[in-house]
Amino acid sequence: MNKQSIAVFDSGLGGLTVLRALRGRLPQEDYFYFADTRFLPYGDRPEAFLKERGVLIAEALAKRGAKALVIACNTATAAAAEAIRAATALPIVALEPGVKPAAALSKTGVIGVLATTRTLQSERFQRLVGNHANHLRVLAQACPGLAEAIETQGPHSPQVAALLDAFVAPLAAAGADVVVLGCTHYPWVAEAIARRMPVGVTLLDTGEPVARQLERLLSATNLIGGGSGQLRVATSGAPNKVIATVDRLWGQHLAVEHWEP
């Protein structure tokens, strides 16, 4: 049982920012990373579609022999985490924007949240703000097109720069002192976001907390260990279309295979 891998999925390559934290904390585990590139971006898709797709992916990953699942996508979590939990017996770690830690850190009482339209419109996000940040001003900034531009044009492209100019300026103008990176693609442009904010602003991403949560979950279910640090990366799109970006983001060459859930 312990010899199976941990499945990690996202709409594309954003979840690699989470995978990096997972491997940093649990390097001995084996990982299967799935980028659902064929359907990127998730952020503008209807909730019903994401639910159906999420369940299909989770079931296929379970069948493939995953011992646990990390939903490395805020949008998929917001739309489908409950449906996925109901559909599979796999231990699951889902992630959500770090509104709670942001609320605890903010001194100005103004926090910014950068995320996809679908995440910000979800009931789950409304609940999160209601439970942890009701006393604060929460600037929920949807970033349509950003995840896709990071992936297809590159994090340092003029397209990404123009989108960041538009999306980050309102947060800086309103005096936000904490910015939540509520989409797993955005840590790839963290420096560019920080440059557009006043000095001293805190950016929060969820890689580390998710890695700690996975460790707790694997320990509690007796599933920790048994791997050899193997990593396999797959996409529902054409591997040759993502390979260069994977290598650039990851910082070293990774083989990418095609996989269809």
Cα–Cα dist 26/30, whole Å: 9
Is 185 one of the binding residues for ligand DGL (CB under 6 A)? Answer: yes
- Which residues lie below 8 Å from residue 45, measured CB to CB, with a gap of 6+? 39, 118
Token representation of residue 33: 């990373």
Q: Known catalytic residue: 73?
A: yes
Residue type, 204: L
Is 207 one of the binding residues for ligand DGL (CB under 6 A)? Answer: no
Catalytic residue among 72, 133, 183, 214: 183
Residue located via tokens 């009482």: 109
Sketch the per residue contact string, 122 through 141, with ligand DGL: x for CB under 6 A, - otherwise.
Answer: --------------------
Give the Cβ contact number of residue 158 at 10 Å: 10
The least distance separating ligand DGL from the CB of residue 58, rounded to whole angstroms, comes to 16
Please, how many CA atoms are within 13 Å of residue 41, restricted to the half-sphere of its CB? 23
Q: Known catalytic residue: 143?
A: no
Sketch the per residue contact string, 154 through 183, with ligand DGL: x for CB under 6 A, - otherwise.
Answer: -----------------------------x
**Nearest-CB residue for ligand DGL:** 43
Q: Which stretch binds ligand DGL (CB under 6 A): 70-78, 106-114, 212-220, 225-233?
A: 70-78
Q: Which stretch binds ligand DGL (CB under 6 A): 8-16, 124-132, 161-169, 217-225?
A: 8-16
Pick the closest to residue 105 from 170, 202, 171, 182 (CA basis): 202
Question: 4 vs 37, which CB is nearer to ligand DGL?
Answer: 37
Token representation of residue 239: 């591997």
Pick the closest to residue 96 from 109, 110, 115 (CA basis): 115
Which positions are annotated as active-site residues? Answer: 73, 183
Binding residues vs ligand DGL (CB under 6 A)? 10-12, 14, 40-43, 73-75, 116, 119, 147, 183-185
